[in-house]
Amino acid sequence: MTDIAARLLDGKALARSLQNEYKKRIATLEPKIGRPPGLAVLMVGENPASAVYVRNKERASSKVGIASFGQHFPVTVTQTELEVAIDLLNADDCVDGILLQLPLPSHLDATALLYRIRPEKDADGLHPVNLGRLVRSEPGLRSCTPAGVMRLLAEYDIDPAGKRALVVGRSILVGKPMALMLLEANASVAIAHSHTSASDLCDLARKADILVPAVGKAGLIGPELVKPGAVVVDVGIVRVTNPDGSHHLTGDVDFDGVSRVASAIAPVPGGVGPMTVALLLENTITSWVTSWERRRSEAHAAL
């Protein structure tokens, strides 16, 4: 095996510097706008990956000066109760971003709820209007995780143009928008999923210059699936129970093995996760500024 010491794609450090920029931007604009940006997170029940996300989001929001409007519902919450919560947040002028934590318990219709969020407040970029804009390569609010991956690649001067990319996973939250963003950046993109045979996954992965696993299965990607010199961006988040009952987070990638083959690797934790949080803050700030500009131009038009 070629022994290459892979570069670490340090999402944690990049997210920290982005947060410092956001903090300055908010401090400059808040006196003009007259209120801080507001982000509302709706979470239902207990999900370990969501709990990590919610905790990190709240910490980062308070650090940069975004007001949090978190609401945590029990698993027994009804569709109507969530609809009412979304309607109130849609109408609340202090709320710029609304995020509905996924997955939801199976008695709830996640799609209907995502469609109910006003597209201008869709901090997660999951409303069909925003997904449609992405398909068309138009500006709009974009899914935070794939947008975070693209920002991380750019930071390390990794240009997907002309490269072969493989995205493993095809969810609306990560896999599909990830593939579209890599395509927009002129990569030749393939997508693998649960119906892809093990041998096809192996063939596709070993050809990929950029490999983005987004599945949630620890150890799915070992060194035998990685082209020497490839860039590997691990999106998966898996909570593993240690023998002593404590927990740690890992991704889809066998980090030790793959980092000997890849030229660059984004680890879990410390890679894509913090970038997701950063891009969520960025989307919220974008909505805050856009809604202020819209209101200002409406006020001018009324004069």
Ligand X SMILES: Nc1nc(=O)c2c([nH]1)NC[C@@H]1CN(c3ccc(C(=O)N[C@@H](CCC(=O)O)C(=O)O)cc3)C=[N+]21
61 is known to lie in a ligand binding site? no
* Catalytic, out of 101, 122, 163, 227: 101
Whichever of 38 and 251 has its CB closer to ligand X, that residue is 251
267: its two tokens? 């680890």
Which of ligand NDP, ligand X, none is residue 215 near (CB under 5 to 8 Å by kind)?
Answer: ligand NDP
The amino acid at residue 160 is: P
* 92 a catalytic residue: no
Q: Does 99 participate in binding ligand X (rule CB under 6 A)?
A: yes
Q: Which residue is nearest to ligand NDP (CB)?
A: 216
Whichever of 37 and 97 has its CB closer to ligand X, that residue is 97
Q: Which of 19, 61, 130, 145 binds ligand X (CB under 6 A)?
A: 145
Tell me how far apart the alpha carbons of residues 89 and 185 are, in angstroms, rounded to a whole number: 34
Whichever of 210 and 272 has its CB closer to ligand NDP, that residue is 272
237 is known to lie in a ligand binding site? yes
Q: Which of 96, 120, 122, 124 binds ligand X (CB under 6 A)?
A: 124
CA atoms lying within 13 Å on the CB side of residue 252? 20
User: Which residue stretches of the chain are H helix?
Assistant: 11-33, 48-64, 79-91, 110-116, 128-135, 144-155, 175-184, 198-207, 255-258, 272-302
Tell me how far apart the alpha carbons of residues 153 and 161 are, in angstroms, rounded to a whole number: 12
DSSP-derived 3-state class of residue 69:
coil
Which of ligand X, ligand NDP, none is residue 99 near (CB under 5 to 8 Å by kind)?
Answer: ligand X
Tell me how far apart the alpha carbons of residues 163 and 153 are, in angstroms, rounded to a whole number: 13
Which of ligand X, ligand NDP, none is residue 214 near (CB under 5 to 8 Å by kind)?
Answer: ligand NDP
CB of 116 to ligand X, least distance (A): 14
* 101 a catalytic residue: yes
Q: Which stretch binds ligand X (CB under 6 A): 45-53, 163-171, 187-195, 225-233?
A: 45-53
* 3 a catalytic residue: no
Binding site for ligand NDP (CB under 6 A): 49, 145, 168-171, 173-175, 192-196, 214-217, 235-238, 272-273, 276
Q: Show the 3-state SS of 234-277.
A: CCCCEEEECCCCCEEEECCECHHHHCCCCCEEECCCCCHHHHHH
CB–CB of 45/303 below 8 Å? no
Paired with 39 in beta bridges are 68, 97
Q: Which of 9, 86, 117, 173 binds ligand X (CB under 6 A)?
A: 173
CA atoms lying within 13 Å on the CB side of residue 244? 2
CB of 276 to ligand X, least distance (A): 4
Count of CB atoms situated within 10 Å of the CB of 127: 21
Count of CB atoms situated within 10 Å of the CB of 13: 13
Whichever of 41 and 225 has its CB closer to ligand X, that residue is 41
* Binding-site residues for NADP(+): 169-171, 237
What are the residues binding ligand X (CB under 6 A)? 49-50, 52-53, 56, 99-102, 124, 144-145, 173, 237, 249, 268-270, 273-274, 276-277
Residues designated catalytic: 57, 101, 124
